[in-house]
Structure 1
Amino acid sequence: MVMPRGHGHGTTTAKRPTRRVNTAESSRRTCGGPLSTVRKRATYAVVSALILTLNVTAPSWAISLPAWTTLPSTTALQSSIANGAGATILSSALLSPTKPKPSYSIGALELVGQNTCMQRGHFLTIDPALVAPCVLGDRRAAKTVVLVGDSEGEMWLPALNIWGLQAHVKILRYVYIACPPWHLPLASSTPNWTNCSTKWHNYVEDAIQKLHPYAVIATGMPDVAQEASTKNSLSTVTAGMSDFFRAIQSATPRRVILSNIPWFLTTSRTPVACAMFNRTALQRCNGSPRTSLDATMTSAIQSTVANKLATVLWTKQFFCTETVCPVVVANRFVYSDSHHLNYDWSLYIARAFGQKLSPLLGLPQLP
């Protein structure tokens, strides 16, 4: 079930008055006269037909996505990561990137045929960072999976979209950048984030209760806005995570946490900057599971799972060997900054990711 825009908030869209156009006058205003008008109409017809064709043939934002069978399986991905862990030289293809694709949001072409993903109504006027809901994966599927998160959730969308298309699952995205789903206190340095801790959390949890989705996937940082003067304690993060899952517990029996990826928050350079600086000594930039996986988040997730509030997909396997988390794998930058995976990497690991996610949700094993 896909919620209409403005879900439950009485949002309406005013109709614009019809404007009559004098064709002859319009033609005279263009440098090409009537012929220009004909050309414009022909071009418009071709573009409209193309968009209509894309809508029919692509039930989701599947345009320009890699085919499932071209992506590495779980085993093949681990082999690629191991090779990356031993690499020392940055590939010439990555030496001079114009910008190493840090974006993990939806491209314009991929939005063909969709209504806007921005939530209309008073939420948007209060805080334009709100983005929900947006439908990805197989938009005609009967099963709906809800993704809830901050930017840590947003960065998984390329992988989730490809998985949804392959597994025939519809994905509803509920993302508020810098606002994790966990019920966390606001730091004194972030007094303007009450929308996150009150309106947004209530909105998402109410929506999930009404949807009764097949499953909910949640992920996020341990702090609101990631600008807090002090980091939240383990007990605070654990309580906040537990409170979120208790709030949606009756809506769905399938609740999954995506564990945090390796973070490079304490290094002097981001992974990409480090790789560019150490292009003949990449090993200096790599992280490790011990130093790059946040211990607070790991412990909070373990407690939540032990209390049977959720299951977890440990994501270390998509980034690290047992000892090394390389920053470059298969001629790709793995990370876009200190704590987000790269768009290209999210696409690249989609098959391996899906092969691990489907069984957790009681879905058939994917090839």
Structure 2
Amino acid sequence: MTSRQSARSLRVSSLVVVLAVIAGCAAAVPPPPHVLAPPAPRISLEDVLDAVGKAPVLRTLPADLTPSLATTAEDVGFDHEQCEAGPRADRIEPCVFGDRASAIDVVLYGDSHAGMWVPAMSVIAERRDWRLQVFGKPACPALNITFWNQQEQRPFAECDRFRAFVAARIAAIRPELLIVTNESFSQKSGRGELITPGDWQAGLTHTLRTLKDFARQALVLGDTPVLDQSAPECLAAHRDNIAACSTTRTAATARTWNAADAAAAKATGAAYVSVLPWLCTALCTPVIGNVTVYRNRFHLTGTYARMLNGALEEALLEHFPPDAVP
């Protein structure tokens, strides 16, 4: 390892430890957006990729693991009870982050994976003076598909109504940037009827075609790979063998429909951003640096998502540069 690599690794590690997963959200009559304190560090894509590349050689859990295994499962990173629509809800007043008076409207829309990126997106909105509004409903992807409510074993009619509600709100907001992101793992359209990649692509294509006329730029943020085992439980049983809780990139990505996401984006003129380089080399590991990456098998911890604010910002600005708005 070169001295430059060592310094960079230490810099990433020290920055990550201080990440406070704090965010604000709006009520029915939104107050001014919450100001993050302390400001989150902007870790560059180069440093993130360096840390990801070193992760597979980690053997033992770091003494300063953040979040701790005891708190990992609850490390969501924002007020999800206030900012996400509940199981029976078909509408929600969006949480607002960043600059409430901004001329640049950004909408983040999807299921729980939209919420998963709030810790990073709220930091970006604050830094770039965007007005970020979040429309999220867990287990309710933004695709034009009637999903199966797997908890109640019935068609998810509230999800259909929520999509119609959000479409109307986006048409009214007409955001400069619309970011759509969803969880494709193990989604169903009926009892025992898994949604295929073709179904997923068709449903997302329909949604993007419906919404893209209301946004200056639409962007699909790819899905996160899915681990073989839930990170906190596995790591608790293998504190001296992190590798036992890692998953090959091939297996982890075979469980998600990222190719369908990318194809739908291309078919509709939307941008597509893959998040895989921020998480995996040939292996997808549950610990990167001194950070617990996953809070289960398929959701990032709020701490790790917030660590990625710099990498996500760089990716967004490739498709939505600072001078995109006159």
TM-score bracket, shorter-length normalisation: 0.7 to 0.9
Deviation, 1:289, is 2.4
Is contact 1:135–1:171 with CA below 8 Å preserved after alignment? yes
Deviation, 1:94, is 3.6
Deviation, 1:296, is 5.2
Deviation, 1:130, is 5.3
- Report the AA paired with residue 91 of structure 1: P
SS at 2:120's partner residue? helix
Q: Which residue of 2 aligns with 1:283?
A: 243
More strand by share: 2
Deviation, 1:4, is 10
Q: Which residue of 1 aligns with 2:43?
A: 72
SS at 2:298's partner residue? coil
Q: Which residue of 2 aligns with 1:313?
A: 273
User: Among residues 195, 199, 205, which one is paired with 1:236 in the alignment?
Assistant: 199
Q: Which residue of 1 aligns with 2:223?
A: 260
RMSD across aligned C-alpha pairs, in angstroms? 3.0
Deviation, 1:148, is 0.6
- Distance, in Å, in 2 between the alignment partners of 1:65 and 1:117 is 22
Q: Give yes or no for the alignment of 1:83 onto 2:73.
A: no
SS at 2:213's partner residue? coil
Deviation, 1:63, is 3.1
SS at 1:177's partner residue? coil
1:118-267 equivalences under 5 Å are 127-128=88-89, 131-187=92-148, 190-197=153-160, 199-222=161-184, 229-264=192-227, 267=228
Report the identity percentage: 19
Structure 1: gaps (5+ residues): 7-54
**Greater relative contact order (Cα < 8 A, sep 6+):** 2
Q: Which residue of 2 aligns with 1:46?
A: none
Q: Which residue of 1 aligns with 2:20?
A: none
- Distance, in Å, in 1 between the alignment partners of 2:323 and 2:50 is 24
Q: Select between 352-361 and 144-153 the one with higher mean Cα deviation.
A: 352-361
Q: Give yes or no for the alignment of 1:99 onto 2:62.
A: no
- Distance, in Å, in 2 between the alignment partners of 1:128 and 1:220 is 18
Alpha-carbon spacing, 1:226–1:149, altered in 2? closer, same or farther (3 Å): farther
Q: Normalising by the residue count of structure 1, what TM-score does the alignment of the two structures yield?
A: 0.72
| CA offsets 1:152-199 (integer angstroms, 9 cap, x no match) | 1101000000011112211110011110001123348642510102x1
User: Among residues 33, 44, 50, which one is paired with 1:60 in the alignment?
Assistant: 33
Alpha-carbon spacing, 1:219–1:296, altered in 2? closer, same or farther (3 Å): same
Is contact 1:146–1:215 with CA below 8 Å preserved after alignment? yes
- Distance, in Å, in 1 between the alignment partners of 2:191 and 2:269 is 27
Alpha-carbon spacing, 1:192–1:301, altered in 2? closer, same or farther (3 Å): closer
Greater C-alpha Rg: 1
Q: Which residue of 2 aligns with 1:335?
A: 294
| CA offsets 1:246-269 (integer angstroms, 9 cap, x no match) | 1112111311001001112xx2x3
- Distance, in Å, in 1 between the alignment partners of 2:93 and 2:38 is 22
SS at 1:127's partner residue? coil
Q: Which residue of 1 aligns with 2:259?
A: 299
- Report the AA paired with residue 291 of structure 2: R
